[in-house]
């Protein structure tokens, strides 16, 4: 009965059933010898399926074209198939697995100083500013005319390992590449397959969104003088690795973002010879064996190519992170020590605030300062219009009215100017004001209101100073409210994110075809440089630092570079207190928000000890997860790996443990091995900060190294008891290996969390 039903369904599928793009994994080792190339084998398979389909149903299309064939990021192809054709394909010799194509989620003039890269003895100089390291950016394309992509000062010899090309296309020719932008490719067959009637608006590597130009210039943009965002953040723009080479792989389109295109871009980036891949996007709620970024980054890791990825913008809720890939770098976003604009009261008091009103040369000087309880809610256009031309209106901080709505009402009423009292991170981190206004802190609000109510002669006045930039603001950094938090849904047993980097209001190259600011409700402005926020902006900062490390330590593995970034990250802000979480006001940020802390490039170049890992170590983890042989094969592409030693205990430079709702006491044990990358013999001693309510023990407590590259192992045990039935807190601490003499400190965060997250 089952067989009859099964074949009846297949017959129904064959009759007029719609088709879908599938990503198909094949076992290349089983390719028949008659084929010289993998592409020919896959093409033959599709041809055979076509014939079978034609024989089965006259309604089937007689031709099916491959979308892509893959050979570096994975082994297999993508193709448009009906369910009947998919079932036929599953019986093909060498078939491993298949799943539907899916959509991706898209997630500087001062940040280099904030990261202390301008130090004369730092990583910039040690790496010669990343000279000749090649960074492949997987994104929305590039605007080649941007000053950030000029090759002034670049050496005129492209590294011999480079195998890529510069593809011509609509409004883009090969002469637009140079010794800075050495490659540009584009991939949209997946979008076209998903939407057969689509018209691609810009069929070339040219950027139509600004996202790709922004991220790539953040990674490795050249030096550009006198850059600003309408007068804000003015200075010399440069990428984190300003002498690195850039290659753009356009996979994000106005018409869609398909996994098959992302895979194709990463596939060729690996083949082209890049050293680092920067990808500011991800795929939500997919297992590692169906995640294009995870699959491609495993192949990259095998070849020594580090993949730096964004954590996502779904915070502050826990468990929202994507790209929680054990063999990739996952980057969270933090704020920067920078503010814009000031409010100057008539008594001479200056209050630093925030706003980005984009009208250059705007002046709002010595206007009456109005505080009127009738209108201070700032939630009525009718009431605000009555005082619109009289002066600068103060808006109360109210729970019943969001500051975002207040800014909207002020704009609609065409008020001369306004003072908003708020610390709402949504506005401060992501919003731009469309009227001549300023946002001040609630701690300054009462003083301003008091001045407005009590000034002598009842004639208070104030000025708002625009196009001002203040740096050194404290405290900073803080975890951005929007940055996605761990644990990783794809595998929570490895602590993610790894590190935090600047992601809020980052200035970098943009495109002059998309508005970057608005005045009022209908005046749109364009700029060649834009202030954007997101983990998309944080990721290329880490990618750039990875490129600098690659230039400095060419023999380091991907795991070694990631380890150096994690163990040297700074958990403290510029007040030397623990980094705070803007998503949870007044709380310290846990490693589930910031990883080990703010990236510290100069310390990362000399970490003292590293936690290394081999591809087989990651496979041991996949085996322990209970993945089937085919699921593992989709990631590894090879049967040369084995499951002889499955283990959840990956040699990772951080620790995370979980407890269950019914568990009264638990003990979790971790084994770690560290490699001495210092100059010679060294002794390290363990210093532990226990997570609240838990006890951590380390054996041995002292590691003695006799020579460089020597390895030593230790055991870390977490013991804890649930003190309250309803306890749901995340607790965190750390272990720091301190070298005698203080030359190096090697820090790893420790997290204990309830398993409900």
Rounded CA gap, 559 and 538, in Å?
Answer: 20
pLDDT at position 6 is 33
**Do residues 229 and 216 make contact, with C-beta atoms less than 8 angstroms apart?**
no
- On whether both 210 and 254 belong to a single domain, the answer is yes
Distance, in Å, from the CA atom of 735 to the CA atom of 698, rounded to the nearest integer, reads 9
Strand-pairing partners, residue 687, are 736
Domain limit, last residue, from 604, 631, 664: 604
Residue 623 lies in a domain: no
Whose structure tokens read 């595998």? 491
Q: Compute φ and ψ for 595, nearest 5 degrees.
A: 65, -135
87-107 pLDDT, tens digit per residue, is: 999 999 999 999 999 999 887
Catalytic (active site) residue 72: no
- 564: helix, coil or strand? helix
Tokens at 207, concatenated: 């950027």
Question: Structural domain tally of the chain?
Answer: 4
Q: Where are the beta strands (DSSP E) in 151-193?
A: 181-186
Supply the pLDDT for residue 663.
57
CATH number at residue 706: 2.60.40.2310
Phi-psi map region of 230: left, alpha, beta (phi>0 left; psi -120 to 50 alpha): left
Query: Residues 195, 197, 203, 207: what is their CA dihedral angle, to the nearest 10 degrees?
Result: -50
Same domain, 432 and 515: no
Active site includes 211?
yes
Concerning whether 536 is annotated as a catalytic residue, the answer is yes
Is residue 63 a contact partner of residue 79, using CB atoms and an 8 Å limit?
no
Residue of 211, 214, 541, 553 with catalytic role? 211
DSSP 640-702: T---SS--S----SSEEEEE-TT-SEEEEEEEEEEEE-SSS-EEEEEEEEPPTTEEEEEESSE
Contact 310, 280 (CB under 8 A): yes
Asked if 145 contacts 563 with a C-beta cutoff of 8 angstroms, the reply is no
pLDDT means over runs of 10, the chain (757 residues):
32 54 96 94 90 50 75 96 93 96 78 70 76 96 98 95 98 98 98 95 97 97 94 91 97 97 98 98 96 98 98 96 97 94 92 87 89 94 95 94 92 95 88 89 95 80 92 94 96 97 96 90 90 96 96 96 98 97 93 98 96 98 97 96 96 93 74 96 97 94 97 95 62 97 94 80
What pLDDT score was predicted for residue 665? 65
Of 460, 491, 514, which one is at a domain's C-terminal end? 460
CATH code, domain carrying 425? 3.50.30.30
pLDDT at 662: 60
Give the angle subtended at the CA of 722 by the CAs of 717 and 728, to the nearest 5°. Answer: 105
Instruction: List, as one string, the DSSP characters of 719-757.
Output: EEE--STT----EEEEEEEEETTSS-EEEEEEEEEETT-
Residue 293 tokens, joined: 């970024």
222 shares its domain with 115: yes
CB 124 within 8 A of CB 145: no
pLDDT at 625: 96
| 3-state SS class at 548 | helix
CATH number assigned to the domain comprising residue 311 = 3.40.50.200
Domain shared by 111 and 91, yes or no: no
Nearest to 315, CA basis, from 145, 497, 187, 133? 497
Separation in Å, CA 257 to CA 25, 214, 271, 323 = 20, 18, 22, 16
- Clarify whether residues 253 and 392 are in a common domain: no
CB 376 within 8 A of CB 396: yes
Same domain for 397 and 423, yes or no, is yes
Of 537, 569, 604, the residue at which a domain comes to its end is 604
Residue with tokens 């593992």: 632
First to last CA, the chain: 43
Beta bridge partners of 276: 135, 306
Catalytically annotated residue among 27, 139, 207, 424: 139
Longest dimension (CA), the chain: 96
Looking at residue 9, its pLDDT comes to 32
* Chain-centroid distance, C-alpha 705: 36
∠ CA 162-556-613, rounded to 5°: 115
Per the listing, tokens 């998903």 go with 194
pTM of this prediction?
A: 0.93
Strand, helix or coil for residue 90: helix
pLDDT of residue 456: 62
pLDDT of residue 518: 87
Tokens (6 digits) for 627: 């993945």
Active-site entry in 536, 590, 654, 748:
536
Residues in the chain: 757
Cα separation, 449 vs 488, whole angstroms: 45
Domain range for 744: 609-613+650-754
Q: Tell whether 331 and 379 lie within a shared domain.
A: no
Asked if 123 and 552 touch (Cβ cutoff 8 Å), the reply is yes
Asked whether residue 739 falls in the same domain as residue 667, the answer is yes
């Amino acid at each position: 009965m089952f067989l009859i039903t099964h074949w009846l369904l297949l017959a129904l599928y064959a009759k007029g059933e719609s088709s879908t793009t599938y990503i198909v994994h094949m076992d290349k080792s089983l390719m028949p010898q008659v084929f010289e190339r993998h592409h020919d084998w896959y093409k033959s398979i599709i041809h055979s399926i076509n014939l079978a389909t034609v024989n089965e149903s006259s309604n089937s299309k007689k031709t099916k074209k491959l979308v892509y064939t893959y050979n570096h990021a994975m082994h297999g192809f993508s193709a448009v198939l009906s369910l009947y054709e998919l079932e036929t394909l599953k019986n093909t010799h060498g078939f491993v697995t298949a799943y539907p194509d899916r959509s991706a989620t898209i997630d500087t003039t001062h940040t280099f100083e904030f990261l202390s890269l301008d130090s004369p003895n730092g990583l910039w100089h040690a790496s010669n500013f990343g000279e000749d390291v090649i960074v492949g950016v997987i994104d929305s394309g590039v605007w080649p005319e941007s000053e950030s992509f000029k090759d002034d000062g670049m050496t005129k010899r492209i590294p011999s390992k480079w195998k890529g090309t510069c593809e011509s296309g609509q409004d883009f020719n090969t002469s637009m590449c140079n010794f800075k932008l050495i490659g540009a490719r584009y991939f949209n067959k997946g979008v076209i397959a998903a939407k057969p009637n689509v018209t691609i608006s810009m069929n070339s590597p040219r950027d139509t969104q600004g996202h790709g130009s922004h991220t790539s210039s953040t990674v490795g943009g050249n030096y550009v003088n006198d850059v600003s965002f309408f007068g804000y953040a003015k200075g010399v723009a440069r990428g984190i690795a300003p002498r690195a080479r850039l290659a753009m792989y356009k996979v994000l389109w106005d018409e869609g973002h398909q996994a098959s295109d992302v895979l194709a871009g990463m596939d060729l980036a690996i083949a082209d010879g890049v050293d680092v891949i920067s990808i500011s996007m991800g795929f939500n709620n997919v297992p590692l064996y169906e995640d294009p970024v995870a699959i491609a980054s495993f192949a990259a890791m095998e070849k020594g190519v580090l993949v730096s990825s964004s954590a996502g913008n779904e915070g502050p809720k826990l468990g929202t992170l994507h790209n929680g890939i054990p063999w990739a770098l996952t980057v969270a976003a933090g704020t920067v020590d920078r503010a814009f604009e000031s409010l100057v009261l008539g008594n001479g008091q200056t209050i630093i605030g925030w706003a980005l009103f984009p009208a250059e040369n705007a002046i709002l000087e010595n206007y009456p300062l109005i505080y009127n309880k009738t209108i201070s809610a700032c939630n009525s256009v009718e009431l605000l219009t009555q005082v619109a031309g009289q002066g600068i209106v103060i808006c109360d901080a109210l729970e019943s009215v969001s500051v975002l709505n207040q800014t909207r009402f002020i704009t609609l009423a065409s008020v001369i100017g306004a003072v908003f009292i708020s610390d709402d991170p949504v506005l401060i981190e992501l919003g731009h004001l469309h009227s001549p206004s300023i946002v001040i802190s609630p701690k300054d609000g009462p003083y301003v209101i008091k001045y407005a109510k009590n000034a002598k002669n009842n004639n208070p006045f104030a000025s708002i100073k625009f196009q001002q930039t203040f740096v050194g603001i404290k405290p900073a950094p803080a975890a951005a409210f929007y940055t996605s938090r761990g644990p990783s849904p794809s595998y929570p047993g490895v602590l993610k994110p790894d590190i935090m980097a600047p992601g809020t209001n980052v200035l970098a190259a943009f495109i002059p075809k998309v508005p970057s600011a608005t005045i009022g409700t209908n005046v749109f402005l364009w700029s060649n440089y834009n202030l954007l926020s997101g983990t998309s902006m944080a990721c290329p900062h880490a990618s750039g630092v990875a490129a600098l490390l690659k230039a400095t330590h060419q023999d380091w593995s991907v795991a070694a570079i990631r380890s150096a970034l994690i163990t040297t990250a700074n958990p403290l802000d510029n007040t030397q207190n623990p980094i705070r979480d803007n998503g949870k006001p007044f709380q310290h940020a846990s490693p589930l928000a910031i990883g080990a802390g703010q990236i510290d490039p100069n310390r990362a170049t000399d970490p003292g000890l590293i936690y290394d890992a081999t591809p087989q170590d990651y496979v041991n983890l996949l085996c322990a997860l209970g993945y089937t042989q085919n699921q593992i094969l989709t990631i590894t592409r090879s049967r040369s790996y084995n499951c002889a030693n499955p283990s959840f205990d990956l040699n990772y430079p951080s620790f995370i443990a979980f407890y269950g709702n019914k568990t009264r006491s638990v003990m979790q044990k971790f084994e770690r091995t560290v490699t001495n990358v210092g100059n010679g013999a060294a002794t390290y001693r363990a210093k532990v900060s226990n997570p609240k309510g838990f006890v951590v023990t380390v054996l041995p407590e002292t590691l003695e190294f006799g020579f460089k590259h020597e390895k030593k192992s230790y055991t870390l045990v977490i013991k804890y008891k649930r003190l309250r039935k309803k306890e749901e807190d995340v607790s965190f601490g750390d272990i720091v290996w301190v070298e005698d003499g203080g030359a190096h400190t090697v820090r790893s965060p420790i997290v204990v969390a309830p398993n409900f997250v």
